[in-house]
Structure 1
Amino acid sequence: MNTTHKGQIALGAMYFGTRQDRDESFAILDRFVELGGRWLDTADNYSFWESETGRGGASERMLGEWFAANPGIREQVWVSTKLGAEPLVAGKWPESMEGLSPAAIEAALGGSLDRLGTDHVELLWAHVEDRTVPLEDQVAAMGATVADGRVRQLGASNHALWRLERARATASATGVEPYSAIQLRHTYLQPIPFAELPDGGHVVATPDALDYARTEDLAFWAYNTLLAGSYARPDRPLQAPYLHADTERRLAALDRVATSTGATRNQVVLAWLMGGSPAVTPIVGVSSVAQLEEVMAARELTLDADALAVLNSVS
């Protein structure tokens, strides 16, 4: 599969069916397609922490309802979903995560397809690492989902780089579909190296990871790209690992470019990500159609050499 990633914004559907009800979710999805959006990003464990049941599935189920209510719309979008991090016992996470055994992968993908009401997804991610299962078994099981037509492309999310490389080498040696996409936490602001993030399981992109994706021609996806609203909203303060002098310099540079281009901070960040090397597919969740329209307008923002020099000269 060679689905286009470059220049795309993936709509994060994390809170569809929990924080956002059917009407809100459908309105955002409808407008996303009207604006030319293609990628929808979800996971089998979204959003268990918001659900009364303590289990995920609400997001995929909401997307499935939207597909059913709009015949033909499934062919207009690409679906990205993830498996491996769903709690099998409510209230016991991460110790009860489903993991990446062949049986877990088979059960999770089957559940996702049922909730989505589709026979395939364009991109399937191993959501987190599972070091309790031999990597060879994981690679074989993930590859089998492509061989049987239920998945078009595979990705590794929140994986150490050496594990990703070993998995790709194993896939090559055994003749199965390799991971061809990588997903990490990445945005314009950078946390203090080695600082512990309050978000469990998040793996921050490093220069090595960006170089690896660029060199190996992997699709690079980024989450938490707008820092949960911290670029735009004073009531959403930055997390402690981002409170340092480099952040102050970067925000000043961001404001200079936003002023010179007439764009918002969010739009500049997204344009910087999409226009970088490697080009990043940012996953962005929104809570309203107005927020969606702001985000999608970032696709039309071209950062010239002067703007990039301002943004990239900060150290």
Structure 2
Amino acid sequence: MHYRTLGGDQGPRISAMCLGTLPFGTTVDEPTAFAVLDRFAEAGGTFVDTANHYGCWIPGATGDESELLLGRWLRSRGAAGRTVVATKVGARPDPARGSAWPANAEGLGRAAVRAGIDGSLRRLGTDRVDLYYAHPEDRHVPLDETVEALAGLVQDGTVGALGAGGHRTWRLAEARHTAAGRGLPGFRAVQQRHTYLRPRRGLPPDMQGEADEELLDYAAAHPGLTLTGYGTLMAGAYSRTDRPLPERYDHPGSVARLRVLAEVAAECGATVNQVVLAWLMGDAVPVVPVVGVSSVAQLDECLAALDLRLDAVQRARLDTA
């Protein structure tokens, strides 16, 4: 395993790859999830990602499932002290706002932020979360209110560091500027959807967002900001014939990139998934990929990417395809 620090030199030490737990407790059952978590820890993985709403869109699920399962694993393995846990607030269904999700998402108001961390700590069975993402952004609440509410969690010791997910770059920058101007803890990490293929142009904005050139430029100029990427392997679409490309990536511009990706994988004796992960981790703005897997075998394939090094020519071919 390789490691880096989160949010600058003063941040906690994290594994260079993060294990996403979105399907754990819903579409991935507990024995399988525990086996994946055990293998990740055995390989030196220390960074895991969850949220207070994961799985809420699955019939019969509430959004509690991922955090509850992760909490059970942390306790059963005595792993809390050696695991950096990230969770999120902002997207959990709030019945008082209606029955349709995501229209009824809790948002990022002061009360929602406080209720969110209280619920996450209870489900995780801990008194502190290492990284707390505001996800997604909430334009219905004054930014000052969200910044102050989140900073208060760091100040009272229930949160170690703050992150933003699904935020436009200008909004991220404004929030960080507001926090700095008031001497408050601000966002030290940002999580966006990020993979090798680029989305088609002209897509309407959604609640998730994309790591675009503007965000990469901003992150390059602010080395104290850690960039984490989810959706990196497009749910298997790079390698599985039964998984078509998501519509946002299924356009003529993807053809050349997929061809070069396959060529580089063959040259390296690697899988296309491994090349995608190596490309992300070795970029000029290194990305911590949040890998979502449903088996130990899938995780092992991802872990092998940690030692894959793309040479300058291969990276240039990938970048310019």
1:99 and 2:112 aligned: no
Equivalent residue for 1:47? Answer: 55
Write the distance in 1 (CA, Å) between the matches of 2:310 and 2:13: 21
Write the distance in 1 (CA, Å) between the matches of 2:302 and 2:153: 33
1:2 and 2:8 aligned: no
Equivalent residue for 2:262? Answer: 255
Matched letter for residue 271 of structure 1: A
Q: State the 1:91 CA deviation.
A: 4.1
**Counterpart among 277, 286, 291 of residue 279 in structure 1:** 286
Write the distance in 2 (CA, Å) between the matches of 1:47 and 1:91: 15
Equivalent residue for 2:222? Answer: 216
* Residues 173-228 of structure 1: per-residue CA shift (max 9 Å, x gap): 1111011111111110011112248xx52211111110101101210011111011
* Residues 81-101 of structure 1: per-residue CA shift (max 9 Å, x gap): 011100012842122111111
* Residues 111-163 of structure 1: per-residue CA shift (max 9 Å, x gap): 00111111111110001111111111100010011111111111110111111
**Counterpart among 57, 60, 67 of residue 67 in structure 2:** 60
Write the distance in 1 (CA, Å) between the matches of 2:262 and 2:103: 42
The TM-score, its normalising length taken from structure 1, stands at 0.95
SS in 1 for 2:199: coil
1:138 and 2:146 aligned: yes
SS in 2 for 1:282: strand
1:238 and 2:249 aligned: no
Equivalent residue for 2:83? Answer: 77
SS in 1 for 2:261: helix
- Whether the 8 Å contact between 2:24 and 2:69 is mirrored in structure 1 is yes
SS in 1 for 2:69: helix
Write the distance in 1 (CA, Å) between the matches of 2:175 and 2:313: 40
Equivalent residue for 2:29? Answer: 21
Write the distance in 2 (CA, Å) between the matches of 1:132 and 1:246: 36
- Whether the 8 Å contact between 1:182 and 1:213 is mirrored in structure 2 is no
Matched letter for residue 94 of structure 2: L
| Superposition RMSD in Å | 1.4
Write the distance in 1 (CA, Å) between the matches of 2:168 and 2:110: 20
Matched letter for residue 230 of structure 2: Y
* Residues 223-266 of structure 1: per-residue CA shift (max 9 Å, x gap): 11101110010110012232222211001110111001001000
Write the distance in 2 (CA, Å) between the matches of 1:48 and 1:15: 10
SS in 1 for 2:167: coil
Equivalent residue for 2:198? Answer: 190
Write the distance in 1 (CA, Å) between the matches of 2:237 and 2:99: 29
**Counterpart among 36, 55, 58 of residue 44 in structure 2:** 36
SS in 1 for 2:129: coil
Write the distance in 2 (CA, Å) between the matches of 1:312 and 1:94: 35
* Residues 252-295 of structure 1: per-residue CA shift (max 9 Å, x gap): 11011100100100000000000002100111110100000001
Q: State the 1:3 CA deviation.
A: 2.2
Q: State the 1:105 CA deviation.
A: 0.4
Equivalent residue for 1:206? Answer: 212
Unaligned 5+ runs, structure 1: none
Matched letter for residue 185 of structure 2: E
Q: State the 1:22 CA deviation.
A: 1.3
Equivalent residue for 1:311? Answer: 318
Aligned residues, how many? Answer: 309
Matched letter for residue 185 of structure 1: R
Identity %: 46
Matches within 5 A, 1:297-308: 297-308=304-315
- Whether the 8 Å contact between 2:136 and 2:208 is mirrored in structure 1 is no
1:168 and 2:176 aligned: yes
- Whether the 8 Å contact between 1:196 and 1:241 is mirrored in structure 2 is no
Matched letter for residue 70 of structure 2: L
Equivalent residue for 1:154? Answer: 162
Matched letter for residue 2 of structure 1: G
Q: State the 1:313 CA deviation.
A: 2.2
The TM-score, its normalising length taken from structure 2, stands at 0.93
Matched letter for residue 197 of structure 2: L
